[in-house]
Amino acid sequence: MRKKQKTMEELLEEALVPEEEQPYEVPGNWIWVYSKFLLDFIGGGTPPKGYNKYWDGDIPWATVKDIKGRYLVTTRDKITVAGLENSSTTMAYENELLLITRMSPGKSTITKISTAINQDLKIVRPKIQIQPYFLWLFFTVNRTLIESMSTGTTVKGVQVEKLKKIPFPVPPLKEQIRIAAKVERLLSKIDEAKRLIEEAKETFELRRAAILDKAFRGELTRKWREANLSTTITNNELNEEHYIIPKEWKWTTIGEITTFVGSGSTPKGGSDIYQTEGIPFIRSQNVLRNKMDIENIVYISEEIYSKMKRTQMCGEETLLNITGASIGRAAKLSINLIPCNINQHVCALRFVDNINKDLPQYWLNSPYIQKIIREWQIGATRQALNFPQVRSLPFPLMPKEEQDELVKIISGLLGKEDKMRILTELDKSISQLKDSILSKAFRGELGTNDPDEESAIELLKEVLQEQVK
């Protein structure tokens, strides 16, 4: 018996998202549609490895590593016609959307070239008229949602059936074009602003490095030293090992001028022990260069703190990151964080009384000592410094009076030059502005919608009409 054909009204009822399930309100001539009625998700594949005749041809072959921005213009790998014909890979054509469904699920790009794809990508082909850029906007806005829908312990992936259930707000075609044009214009300005911020950050970092290099070669305090010091404190027998320092200084090591060098630990329970209040617990992300980041502080209970007696901080320590990507960053511990403790990735250094407690952070962040730290890093998979290495780090010791003077000069210069905090905050604000623009684009709040234009439901009816016939 022939299956009864559904009416247009029945098909629309299946395709349209009920009002109570719509994520938010959109203009009256927009419609909410389940993605499966709008989009086809077409998978790819990989030609067999080890067959030279399948590889290094003229056909681009895209993988996750090629998806980096809004547009795809080239791929790392290429395949031959034989590779295309003897695998499950599929060709995407210019201006089609590629969506990552495995490894970095939710990330997408618009391809500006014809390219084959591997199994971790999907070609997203609209069944109705949807602008490629508008489609990219949709998946960019919903990337967090797609990530939350993904499963897998080591490699995350999202099932196509889940993607098909995502509600899609569809505006009229002309509105899609206007939205795409306005968002692209705004995002281009944001990209340029972020580029300028990165350039400014790099300039300030170079300036900071230059200041610290001059500071520990005696150049910043030369006039003060000539006017105030008449005697030397030692000879320069180690100058040949390092570099020439003023005759009033001497080379020593961190171990010779500290009373304590050691790191803490993370108590049993891992991140589950962290609280929203209690005793501050310092991790490597809290130790920046010459300053502490207190925005990302976590806390532990007083009970846990009381059991970590060896690394209870007193407030005069210099903290040095000794593992991971931030290895070598150093800062004096903020007194307003006391009492506190540290984890195993942070090394605390307590200096003897004749060392200005603000000085070591500047030395540890100087270009010379950073070069040594880079050369000394150990660990096959994770960069790390051990305590003997930290103790053996060189230190240019100068008279206490000159230390105090040098700290004043350095803090004054860095205070004038260090706009990094402002730039970082500006960078965050721009990122929030980008998120706001994308959100408004899918709510019809960019001021581009024309309420008199024909409803987008007519676009949907065109594709559904084929099922009515």
Strand 55-62 and strand 31-34: the pairing is unpaired
Residue 324 has pLDDT above 90, yes or no: no
255: amino acid identity, one letter: G
CA–CA dist 285, 287 (Å, integer): 6
- pLDDT value for 238: 47
Q: What is the pLDDT of residues 115-131, one digit of tens each?
A: 999 999 999 999 988 88
- Evaluate whether 262 touches 387 at the Cβ level (below 8 Å): yes
Residue 51 has pLDDT above 90, yes or no: no
Per-residue pLDDT, averaged over 435-454, amounts to 87
3-class secondary structure per residue, 359-427: HHHHHHCCHHHHHHHHHHCECCCCCECCHHHHHCCEEEECCHHHHHHHHHHHHHHHHHHCCHHHHHHHH
Q: What is the pLDDT of residues 136-148, one digit of tens each?
A: 999 998 999 999 9
Q: Do domains 8-172+453-468 and 250-397 have the same CATH topology?
A: yes
Q: What is the pLDDT of residues 267-283, one digit of tens each?
A: 887 777 898 899 999 99
- For residue 163, the tally of other CB atoms under 10 A from its CB is 22
The CATH architecture annotation of domain 250-397 reads Alpha-Beta Complex (3.90)
- Evaluate whether 289 touches 211 at the Cβ level (below 8 Å): no
- Evaluate whether 391 touches 258 at the Cβ level (below 8 Å): yes
Per-residue pLDDT, averaged over 73-98, amounts to 95
Long-range contacts of 225-229 (CB under 8 A, 24+ apart): 225/402, 228/401, 228/402, 228/405, 229/399, 229/401, 229/402
Our measurement of the distance from residue 319's CA atom to the centroid of its chain's CA atoms, rounded to an integer in Å, reads 24
Number of alpha carbons in the 13 Å side-chain half-sphere of residue 429: 8
Structure-model confidence comparison of residues 152 and 250, the more confident one:
250
Domain boundaries, the chain: 8-172+453-468, 250-397
Cα torsion angle, 299, 302, 304, 305, sign = positive
- pLDDT value for 429: 83
356 — pLDDT class (breaks 50, 70, 90): very high
- Evaluate whether 294 touches 286 at the Cβ level (below 8 Å): yes
169 — pLDDT class (breaks 50, 70, 90): very high
CA–CA dist 324, 345 (Å, integer): 8
- Strands annotated E in 242-297: 250-253, 258-263, 279-282
Number of alpha carbons in the 13 Å side-chain half-sphere of residue 224: 16
8-172+453-468 domain in CATH 3.90.220.20? yes
Residue 39 has pLDDT above 90, yes or no: yes
Q: What is the SS3 assignment for 8?
A: helix
- pLDDT value for 397: 96
